Amino acid sequence: MKTIVEAGHYYQVNGPSVLSVKGWDIGKDFVASQANAELALFIDDYHQEQAFLETGDTFFEPDEAAQVADAFLSEADHVFSEAALAEAAPQKMSELLENGLVKLKKGILSVGGVRLGCLRRL
């Protein structure tokens, strides 16, 4: 069985932060110690602003952020786009409901302890 570890996550609008790099390094070390493990990078290209940072975190200057992002992309086994997932989510959630693979409770799909929510745009 393959294990996919989300080792990296950042908002595209600002690029990776210092803590993003630390998380990526921890994830790489973890994946290297596991059989059949792969690195996943999740890029939030859906939100067009990031108005917060964790305490002690900082952003890189744009040129350096681009270099860090390129390094993540070259090392990642899987890259996920939040915008692409958000676009596909309503259809996939409908399919899961129609096939009886998930239940809907208070607007949230739930199966096996995993909860999925979807906002519809008007």
CA torsion, ordered 59, 21, 42, 66, to nearest 10 deg: 60
CA distance 91 to 76: 27
pTM of the model: 0.73
Q: Helix or strand or coil: residue 3?
A: strand
> CA triplet 21, 22, 26: central angle to 5 degrees?
115
- Digit-coded pLDDT (tens) for 21-72: 999 999 999 999 999 999 999 999 988 887 777 888 899 999 999 999 999 9
Check: CB of residue 38 under 8 Å from CB of residue 27: no
Q: Which element (helix H / strand E) includes 116?
A: strand 114-117
Q: Helix or strand or coil: residue 81?
A: strand
- Digit-coded pLDDT (tens) for 75-119: 999 999 988 887 887 788 778 778 877 766 666 666 555 566 654
